Amino acid sequence: MRGSVIVNSAEAYIACCLVGLGLIQIPAYDVKVHLAAGELVDVMAAHRAEPMAMTLLYPHRQHLSRRLSVFADWLEDILVRELLPHR
């Protein structure tokens, strides 16, 4: 879709929407604060894109370091808590 504004960051994309330049399609976590504050409204909830998988990449080794294992668990906890809809 052609538009009158071209941006190259999520922050600029959101800023354009906040000043009324149109609708945006962006991951909910990027606008969570604005939605909670009532600054933005979800207008097409029934037409959301399918969720995309996320992957943590790290160098392959036979034994995963304790540090990396702890980090991966911590990251998973945050992502589940912050990104998945609460049921």
User: Is residue 2 pLDDT above 80, yes or no?
Assistant: no
pLDDT of residue 86: 59
Number of domains into which the chain is organized? 1
Give yes or no for a contact between 54 and 41, defined as CB atoms under 8 angstroms apart. no
Residue 26, domain member (yes or no): yes
Residue 48, domain member (yes or no): yes
Furthest C-alpha separation in the chain: 53
User: Is residue 68 pLDDT above 60, yes or no?
Assistant: yes
Residue 3, domain member (yes or no): no
pTM for the structure as a whole: 0.65
Distance, first Cα to last Cα, the chain: 34
pLDDT of residue 27: 85
d(CA 45, CA 70): 35
Name the residue range of residue 62's domain.
10-83
Residue 5, domain member (yes or no): no
Residue 4, domain member (yes or no): no
| Helices vs. strands in the chain: H and E counts, helices first | 3, 0
Tens of pLDDT, residues 14-46:
999 999 998 998 888 899 999 999 999 999 889
